[in-house]
Every structure is written in C-alpha cells, then in structure tokens.
Amino acid sequence: MIYSFEPILRPMVWGSELWVLSGYPERLSVVADGEHKGLTINELVALEKERLLGAEGYRRFGDEFPLLIKFLDVHAPLSIQVHPSEEFAQARQGLHGKTEMWYVVKAERDAELLAGFARQITPEEYVRRVTDGSITDVIARHKIEAGDVFFIPTGRVHALLPGAYIAEIQQTSDSTYRIWDYNRPGLDGRLRPLHTELAKEALDYKVYPEYRTPYSKQKDAEVGLVSCEYFNTSLLELSAPFRKDLSALDSFLIVMCLEGSGTLRCGSQERPLAPDGCLLVPASEESAEFVPSGDGLKMLLCHL
C-alpha cells in the first residue's frame, strides 16, 4: 500500500509553506484516494496502528502521526526563532517540542540563512539585543546552495532568509518561540507577539564549530543525512532503478520528491513521483522500488 495526501498551502508573511504530510491537529493531512480516501492521517493511524507506524513507533506515539513534512518558499525573512525541547515544551505548555531539519532544494545566488550563534553571548545580552533589535548581529550567517543540509536541534536560534526553497522535516509540533520579527505586521495587519522570556530559557547559547550538516553526495546509492531521536533521513538520487529493503525497518517510509520524476512501486501497487510530492509507505510493506524517468529522480527518504 502507498498513501498520498491532499497538500495544504499556507500563505505566510514571509512567503508560503506547503504541508504535504501533517499529523498536527489544526491542519491534518487527508488521504487523497484509494479505499481510505477522506480519512485524516491520524484516523488512518488509529485504523492501521502498528501496520502503519511500526510496533515501536505506535508504542511511542499512539494514534498521532509523529512527523510534519513541508516545502517552504521563502521571499522575505522568517522571524528569528527557537524551538523548545520535548521536556521544556511539555513542562511549560503541555505541547511537543520541535526538532527539525532543512534540505535546500533551490537557492538564488547569494542566498543565506541564519543558524546558531556566531559568538558566545549571555542571556542578559540576548534580552538587550532583542530590545534594541540587534540580535541578528550575533547569529551565524551561512551562504547556501542547492543540496545543503542544516539540522536544527531544539535550542538552536535560526531563521530562513529570502531566496530559498526548503524541504523541512520536523516533529509534529508548532512550538515556536519568536525572538525577533523585524517590527513588521502579520497577514492580519497586527504585530506578531514575541516570546522573549520563553526563548531566553529555551536557547542553547553555546557556539558550535559547524552548523551545516556534512555528507558525501553519491548517485544511485542511499546517502545518510540526519539521524536523531525523532527521525532519520537520507538522500537518494537515481539514474537507474533502486530497490530498498524495508523488512527490518519497523517504521513507515516517507518519500519526498525533490527533482525529476519517476515511479514508486510496493508489491503490485505503483504511484508517480513528481517534485513537491510526498508519498507514505506503511511499516507493513517489505520493500520499495524506485524507478526514475529519463530526467532522473532525487528524493528525501524519512523514517522513525
């Protein structure tokens, strides 16, 4: 079985985001076709249980699909923000934390993003810089190009900037503490609230030697990108058919098509793959075969 879902397009003050697979209660993905057409992803999980999530995944997450998958089209700066850990968010708000990663699908010339502190600051300096609007002066800026990967663990200050098209994988959560928003109005014409004190406690002030995630590009082979408590991701760029054994995975497999086109086959079923698309293979499937078309096929694969 292969599932596809109706995409959810959200206009944002900074551009737009396309939610292609979401278990978030306020914006649940809906099965697009087949015998379960019209069910939300969480209703599908409740119906299929371990067959969809895997035994360990269902034990951990129950009837809530645990990941949120998006494409972000960035035309203006996102707010400077930080996401809380699971423990912090649960203790303060009874919500999930938000660990995420970015894969740069496209980037205009000289495009940049912000991630991590460029130098050590104290919580007191942080508050002062939020107050006077100079917080961006101490955040590391990174020139980006297609194929760059950034893992954004909880506590890391970050923001996307104009000129980027991003694939984002994250926990099912909207727990975001807004640090700075350039004194601009939201889509409703009002200033969006800042969360200065929550962010002050949630931030990781440590300076790290590298914020970009390194990996070695390779065609016709699965290349690991990010492995963390909440998801594992890999890049698969194909010029020839590729078969992935799923028998020992004990997890669903999410397939995000980035470039090119092709076909995904599981047993007797097959589905087309096209850019900005997302397909879900349940944990009960034993294997998946990817067949690129003449222009090749580039995908992100994700599982628990």
Reported pTM: 0.97
Per-residue pLDDT, 160: 98
Complete domains list, the chain, with CATH: 3-202 (2.60.120.10), 222-303 (2.60.120.10)
Q: In the beta sheet, which residues pair with residue 164?
A: 74, 107
From 185, 168, 166, 139, select the one nearest 12 (Cα to Cα): 185
Q: Are 168 and 120 in contact (CB under 8 A)?
A: no
Predicted confidence band at 182 (pLDDT cuts at 50, 70, 90)?
very high
Predicted confidence band at 272 (pLDDT cuts at 50, 70, 90)?
very high
**pLDDT tens digits for range 221-260:** 999 999 999 999 999 999 999 999 999 999 999 999 999 9
Per-residue pLDDT, 303: 98
Provide the mean pLDDT of the chain: 97
For residue 5, the number of C-alpha atoms closer than 13 Å in the C-beta half-sphere is: 30
Per-residue pLDDT, 106: 98
User: Residue 25 to residues 43, 154, 276: CA-CA distances in angstroms?
Assistant: 11, 21, 22
**pLDDT tens digits for range 49-86:** 999 999 999 999 999 999 999 999 999 999 999 999 99
What secondary structure does DSSP assign to 51-71, as a single string?
HHH-HHHHHHHTTS--EEEEE
Average pLDDT over residues 152-173: 98
